Structure 1
């Protein structure tokens, strides 16, 4: 049986070539992924928009996540780990958008709550003014009846039927005497007839 073996100097060349090829492939792999500048810029823009929307007050946790991931993305960029940097920048952008949306929602809710409180205050003020006006009208009504105002016009009650049926004694109808001549009058009065 025969075992095939390479010459002594030949195995070193294969190893050196294999190592060089591996290094070349490793460097080519890093060089093929460009730096994610666009992703980093978009993440930074979204972070600033979230801060401007008040995320530090209304959504501090989400803003903190976005800032932490952006810092990790910057570190990955410095270490030339562009794939990791791009992924972290995208996560930072998404967290910043969420923080911005939550901040805008919270600000809108605060504004609505302020308007509701203002409406309640105005409603209470209107009811108080209305109650005061009613009180003034009630105070003015008794004062007006105590003065010389006309008596209230109410229907008078009808007399009892016994009062209407028979006239009181001595106050019935009286007949007029039937003289053919009218009573004597003085003819000297002007405008009189003879």
Structure 2
């Protein structure tokens, strides 16, 4: 019963009445039923109802926290929009540019596509070497530089 009462109070403190009124109502109703069962000496029913009340209160608390977080995010989005509008009014020359791109910097040079190395550049894995090696530039056969190394 105590845990249910604690969770109910936590849900109320988190404004569950505003963000999750149905779940809070379920929790309060179950808690009242649990109290009535205790008064009637139906302890098993009281324990089950108190557990349900605690669960409903936890759900209401989670929904209240989620609702409060969403409200906070929305207020920040609204504030950012107002600031963006004020900036565009103060600096109309910036209104066509993406907001994430700093102004006054030179544009990046296009890099184009970089081709993958041809298959002739790579050879089959060396026996016991544990991987691929590139063919040396001078055409000499590759050497196993990992000889004697433990895997």
Q: TM-score range by the shorter chain?
A: 0.5 to 0.7
TM-score, scaled relative to structure 1:
0.48
The answer on 1:45 being equivalent to 2:15 is no
Match of 1:185 in 2: none
CA distance in 2, matches of 1:41, 1:82: 14
Matched residue SS, 1:80: coil
Q: 1:131 Cα shift?
A: 1.9
Which segments of 5 or more consecutive residues in structure 2 lack a partner in the other structure?
A: 95-151
> Is the aligned partner of 1:128 residue 2:128?
no
Report matched runs for 1:32-181 at 5 Å. 40-131=1-92
**Which residue of 1 is the match for residue 141 of structure 2?**
none
Higher CA-based Rg: 1
Moved over 2 A (4+): none
Tell me, which stretches of 5 or more residues in structure 1 are unaligned? Answer: 1-39, 134-194
Deviations 1:34-69 (A, max 9, x none): xxxxxx000000000000000000000000000000
Aligned length: 94
Task: Tell me what 1:19 maps to.
Answer: none
Residue 132 of structure 1: CA displacement?
8.1
Structure 1 CA distance for aligned equivalents of residues 58 and 75 of structure 2: 26
Question: Deviation of residue 129 (structure 1)?
Answer: 0.2
Q: Which is helix-richer, 1 or 2?
A: 1
